[in-house]
Amino acid sequence: MSDWRTRGKTSLSAAVLAAILALPILGFQLSETGTGLTVLARLHTVAWVFVAVGLGSFALTSARAIKWPSIALPAQTSDRLGWALAIFALALPFLPFADRSLIDKATLILIYVMLGWGLNVVVGWAGLLDLGYAGFYAIGAYSYALLAQAFDISFWLCLPLAGLFSALFGLALGFPVLRLRGDYLAIVTMGFGEIIRIVLLNWQSLTGGPNGISNIARPTLFGLTFTARALDGGKTFAEALGIPYSANQRIFFLYFLILALALLTNFLALRLRRLPLGRAWEALREDEIACRSLGINPTNIKLSAFAIGAMCAGFAGSFFATRQGFITPESFSFIESAVIVAIVVLGGMGSQVGIVFAAIILVGLPEWFRDLQNYRMLAFGLTLLVVMIFKPSGLVSRRSPTIVLKDPA
Amino acid sequence: MLSISGLHSGYGQIEALHGIDLKVPPGSIVTLIGANGAGKTTLLSTLCGHPRATDGQILFDGMDITHWPTHQIARAGLAHCPEGRRVFPRMTVLENLELGGTPLGAKANADDLEKILDRFPRLRERLTQRAGTLSGGEQQMLAIGRALMSRPRLLLLDEPSLGLAPLIVRQIFELIETINIQEKITIFLVEQNAYHGLKLAHHAHVLVQGRVTLSGSGAELLANPEIRAHYLEGGLTTQT
């Protein structure tokens, strides 16, 4: 079969190219010997690269040659899948195999699911590529931490305040970038995200700079704490229910808390999408000129998308702060923004269910493969590549209409 | 209804319109014909404030809308059906129509939609289809239907015949005429297809390099030998 031959040729040239590149990068090693440095040749590494790239390329081209059955989900299945996921998430802590580390990982994934859903409003629907989303996440986290420390107010009061604060910053970013689109917008938002991080890093007196803020107040449930012993007159959760204390209670509580926050975000986002506002977001993504001619004010629509997206990030940020109990500007670097954008794009730009799967793949898998250590980022990159090769428009690329006539005449 | 006086407009340093004076009386169809690059589209876009007029005045129903933001002009009852249709390709036909009702806000109701779907039965068949998958003629109908959703008093149509088959072009112009008669919507039409454009026009103007060079009734211009030579000869043979 000539087909095999062409694939073989492609793979061979890819392998040769990789080996040529690998030679100067991986082929030599400097090692210290007594008096100075010696250059060691590591040609076997280059050989490994040659073999790996050759086989990988052959496998990839072969896989692409096969006609895969299309797994486009019909509308109802996608909806049902969403419900099934939600029920599974609710039941997860009660399943026999759910231990502390699993719930911890699930909590982390849910943070990113929530961030993904928030950013989806901005990127997936309004079509405004925002590469500085971690900035709003940071603002949420720091406003919770600072408010809780300075005024000793509870998590539940801080949460809306942190959201509000982030939304205000969303508006502040929105104004200067109103006239920008596409690549230019991406660069400015990226800069904005970095500005926030660097301000947090350098405003020592307020934020503690690189030392961060520690001893952030833990959340309570109707005044019940999740510690072993209650502080000054309060009650712990375990005491109130008359059950023995266990550290798991806090982990599980945090899990349900982020699940509730994420589902709330999802509910709000889906509701907004069906309103004229949501339709205007999508119309703006499609064609701004046509929008204006239809009496849509692009300023308001863009700003609302930025503000609502930022608000979700603010909520997620305050949850992050209360979960970690300790935050530094390190946690909000550009890579965070990049991961969240990757989740939205991988999920299918606008699909809520797709974002859940993308978050599991991009955040969950690297957690499970922690043992691979240095190769984790390699696995991360490979996952991105594989998904984009086989599903170039994202995991769930079907767009569901925002409105249907109930009784088609 | 619409009265334009001494209008100048352009892009950056380049001026495309050098003082346009034009009136669109209520209830009429006014057609503007002109060659490529004469400034037809610029004139319609300037009426909507994009680009802004650099000089002159635009009165709509006695209101000076020259400096209004685009979306407010649309909300005042002036609908613009832009060149090249510009439907929202990834959204469904129904969503496109709903977006057309934006200027009405809470006043929008299902009757508008029903009325438009009765007028364009093809759109009713394709309500859940993505607008980008419609044929050119259907997209043009959608663009007009979308503009009508805002219950406009004045409809600006920018080359509705662009890129359509002759049979479809005839249908579209018949539609424009019925909309004018039945809905009492004033229409300002910009066309390269001079024959059809002039045939239904009550008043017509010829735009050459940013200036109105000739005005009259549609029939007058159709009979004008100069117009025939420049815009119709050759064109006429393919149209009949």
By the CB < 8 Å criterion, does B92 face chain A?
Answer: yes
pLDDT of the residue at A367: 78
Do A119 and A13 lie in one domain? The reply is: no
Highest mean pLDDT among A240-254, A305-319, A342-356: A305-319
| Closest chain A C-alpha to B143 CA, distance in angstroms | 10
Q: Closest by alpha carbon to B30, among B160, B180, B142, B239?
A: B180
Higher pLDDT, A377 or A288: A288
Name the residue among B75, B86, B89 with its Cβ closest to that of A295. B75
By the CB < 8 Å criterion, does B87 face chain A?
Answer: yes
Under an 8 A CB cutoff, do A294 and B100 touch? yes
* Helix boundaries (H) for B18-165: 40-47, 70-75, 93-100, 110-119, 121-125, 136-148
A403 → chain B, closest CA residue: B95
| Closest chain B C-alpha to A284 CA, distance in angstroms | 9
Do A173 and A267 lie in one domain? The reply is: yes
pLDDT of the residue at A409: 45
pLDDT of the residue at A404: 77
- Block means of pLDDT (10 residues each) for chain B, length 240 residues? 93 92 94 90 91 92 92 90 90 91 77 90 91 92 92 93 90 92 93 90 93 91 87 55
Under an 8 A CB cutoff, do B88 and A290 touch? yes
Contacts of A313 (CB under 8 A, 6+ apart): A115, A118, A119, A133, A134, A136, A137, A139, A140, A166
Higher pLDDT, A82 or B179: B179
Residue A325 in any domain: the answer is: yes
Mutate to test the interface with A, among B48, B81, B97, B102 (most CBs of A within 10 A): B102
Torsion angle defined by CA atoms of residues B184, B189, B132 and A385, in that order, rounded to the nearest 10 degrees = -130
Name the residue among A279, A289, A292 with its Cβ closest to that of B98. A279
Contacts of B79 (CB under 8 A, 6+ apart): A293, A294, B147, B148, B150, B152, B154, B155, B156
pLDDT single digits (tens) A31-48: 887 788 888 888 888 898
Q: How many CB pairs under 8 A join A and B?
A: 86
Where residue A74 falls among pLDDT bands split at 50, 70, 90? low
Residue A247 in any domain: the answer is: yes
pLDDT of the residue at B130: 92
pLDDT surpasses 80 at A335: yes
| Closest chain A C-alpha to B230 CA, distance in angstroms | 32
pLDDT of the residue at B57: 93
Where residue A70 falls among pLDDT bands split at 50, 70, 90? low
pLDDT of the residue at A232: 64
Do A30 and A129 lie in one domain? The reply is: no
Do A57 and A91 lie in one domain? The reply is: no
| Closest chain B C-alpha to A288 CA, distance in angstroms | 10
pLDDT single digits (tens) A235-279: 777 777 777 777 788 888 899 999 999 999 999 999 999 888 999
Under an 8 A CB cutoff, do A399 and B88 touch? no
Do A111 and A174 lie in one domain? The reply is: yes
Domain tally, chain A = 2
Chain position carrying tokens 């997206």 = A309
pLDDT of the residue at A72: 60
Do A36 and A156 lie in one domain? The reply is: no
Do A216 and A280 lie in one domain? The reply is: yes
Chain position carrying tokens 């938002």 = A189
Name the residue among B50, B88, B95 with its Cβ closest to that of A292. B50
Under an 8 A CB cutoff, do A295 and B103 touch? yes
Which residues of A fall within a CB distance of 8 Å from B52?
A: none
Which residues of A fall within a CB distance of 8 Å from B87?
A: 290
pLDDT of the residue at B139: 93
Residue A108 in any domain: the answer is: yes
Residue A398 in any domain: the answer is: no
Residue A124 in any domain: the answer is: yes
Do A58 and A150 lie in one domain? The reply is: no
Under an 8 A CB cutoff, do B74 and A294 touch? yes
Do A116 and A265 lie in one domain? The reply is: yes
Which residues of A fall within a CB distance of 8 Å from B84?
A: none
DSSP class of B232: I
Mutate to test the interface with A, among B86, B129, B130 (most CBs of A within 10 A): B86
Residue A389's Cα: distance from chain center in Å? 21
Do A23 and A127 lie in one domain? The reply is: no
Contact of B204 with B25, CB cutoff 8 Å: no
Separation CA B95–CA B79 (nearest Å):
18
Identify any residues that bridge with A61 across adjacent strands, giving them in sequence order: none
pLDDT of the residue at B109: 74
Higher pLDDT, A249 or A189: A189
User: Percent of chain B having pLDDT more than 70?
Assistant: 96
DSSP β-ladder status, B14-24 and B203-208: unpaired
pLDDT single digits (tens) A359-393: 998 888 877 777 776 777 777 788 888 888 878 78
Q: Say which CATH number the domain at A286 has.
A: 1.10.3470
| Closest chain A C-alpha to B83 CA, distance in angstroms | 10
Name the residue among A283, A297, A409 with its Cβ closest to that of B88. A283
Instruction: Pull the structure tokens for residue B34.
Output: 């002109």
Do A100 and A59 lie in one domain? The reply is: no
Average pLDDT of chain A is: 86
Residue A409 in any domain: the answer is: no
Do A183 and A56 lie in one domain? The reply is: no
pLDDT of the residue at A244: 77
pLDDT single digits (tens) A135-184: 999 999 999 999 988 888 888 888 999 999 999 999 998 888 888 878 89
pLDDT of the residue at A23: 87
Which residues of B fall within a CB distance of 8 Å from A298?
A: 71
pLDDT of the residue at B45: 92
pLDDT of the residue at B238: 44
| Closest chain B C-alpha to A405 CA, distance in angstroms | 8
Where residue A303 falls among pLDDT bands split at 50, 70, 90? very high
- In which domain, by residue range, is A32 found? 2-65
Contact of A399 with B90, CB cutoff 8 Å: yes
Under an 8 A CB cutoff, do A401 and B88 touch? no
Candidate from A67-71, A82-86, A194-198, B184-188 with smallest mean pLDDT: A67-71
| Closest chain B C-alpha to A362 CA, distance in angstroms | 27
DSSP class of A233: T
Contact of B203 with B220, CB cutoff 8 Å: no
Contact of B48 with B78, CB cutoff 8 Å: yes
Separation CA A296–CA A280 (nearest Å):
7
Residue A401 in any domain: the answer is: no
Residue A259 in any domain: the answer is: yes
pLDDT of the residue at A112: 95
SS3 B65: coil
pTM for the model: 0.85
